[in-house]
Amino acid sequence: MNSIFREYDIRGIYEKELNERTTKLIGYFLGLHIKKIGGVVALGYDARSHSPILCDYLTSGFNKAGCEVLNMGLVATPVNYFANYQSFDGITPNASVMITGSHNPSEYNGFKITIDKKPFFGEDIYALGREIMKNFDMSIEDNVTCKKIDAKNRYIDFLVKEFEHLKDFDTPFVYDCGNGVAGVVAPQIFEKLGFTCKGLFVEPDGTFPNHHPDPTVEKNLVDIKKELSREFDYGFAYDGDADRIAFLTKENNVKGDIMAIFFSEAMENPTVVGEVKCSQVMYDTINEYGKAYMYKTGHSNLKVKIAELNADFAAEVSGHLFFNDRYFGYDDAIYATLRMIELVKNGLNVDERIAKLPLVYSTEEIKVKTTEEEKFGLIEKVKELLKNPPSDFPYIKEIIDVDGVRVIFDEGWGLVRASNTTPVLVTRFESTSKSKVKEYEEKLNALLKKAKESL
């Protein structure tokens, strides 16, 4: 059971791991934490068939802990986060839980937790898991008492008002909800703003009958690319719970770090937080007119860092985009769509701007299978080997170890980090030279192989 308590959230297979007993216990022991700061928790859930069932189990646990439960029903994850900043009939949540399997297969589900407007993650989640395991025989009766709230329409109205200046935007675009919960908010917002657009797979369906709701995977973008080859100029695709975005033009699939450049260029003296997988082009470009910080991968990590630095913006390559400028500092793919439309309306030519950026060659994320027990040990071994690398190893300018190992070479960089959610190492390589990016990949992988052999 310990495997469901992950670095950033709680996640597992419905009934096998997230069943009635475990979910009620999560609600109860999490509720004891929330009770200390006021005891009001807002719950929302995604389109999976078991999400409302898990919501009832959680509600029973929270009621047992003496919390007041606000139920917002079927919503996108950003709506769940948004509820933390609202008052409903004079009641303001002290915490929220989003029940979602995000982009995972339909048998999975999970909980993204916010307490006192901050992510509940890392050691807090692991400690919660230990507490539950010690009390696993505890029985909790059914009690689904809750107060229904309409956070969804509050969110829709908020965004429509915030972006009413876009009402005359008529450049055609297409958006793909992937049968996730973006479909419960995006069409209404775009219609109210009078956009010329077409929605794909907007009907929420937790079996994901058309394609997997993960826009970082190229094969999941086939349908939207077909539409872009016709009359549409731009495309937006969302993951299962609408906190990640993919942005496409007819020529480019624009990753989160490149979008960060666009957004920051429209801000005055911006402070931007990126993760270790972001392109050096992003850091170098932003540092010309603002300040860019490199930090750990993970939406919870970036939310904490953006608050700590009071940064304007944060970005992950995968499309988690966090706006603290004119917004609340959390990742919201629908809000990011509207900010991108705003840039285009204000004159940004996306493809021309990309063409003017320094040319680099980079790999996608390459995943190397390992085990939960070995993955962090491998990173430590790689660090040790880098202190005295082989004679044919490329010259090392700098080593950044904020999250795994990012090795800065003369003409690029290579990254090896342990995933916090799966038993894999994640590698990525970038260079201004095609041959160098291959060399960096080969040399760092050879070092990784040596590290494996020595364990």
CB atoms within 10 A of CB 165: 11
Q: Say if CB 182 and CB 242 are below 8 A apart.
A: yes
- Tallying the residues shown for the chain, one arrives at 455
Q: What is the per-residue burial (b if ≥16 Cβ within 10 Å, else e) of 350-367?
A: beebeeeeeebebbeeee
Residue 193's identity, in one-letter code, is L
Q: Which two tokens stand for residue 137?
A: 């025989």
Q: Is 102 a catalytic residue?
A: yes
In the block, residue with structure tokens 């509207």: 338
The one catalytic residue in 51, 60, 102, 264 is: 102
The answer to whether the Cα torsion of 326, 327, 331, 334 is positive or negative is negative
Q: Say if CB 155 and CB 217 are below 8 A apart.
A: no
Q: Say if CB 389 and CB 447 are below 8 A apart.
A: yes
Helices 333-345 and 256-265: crossing angle in degrees, nearest 10, is 50
Catalytic residues: 102
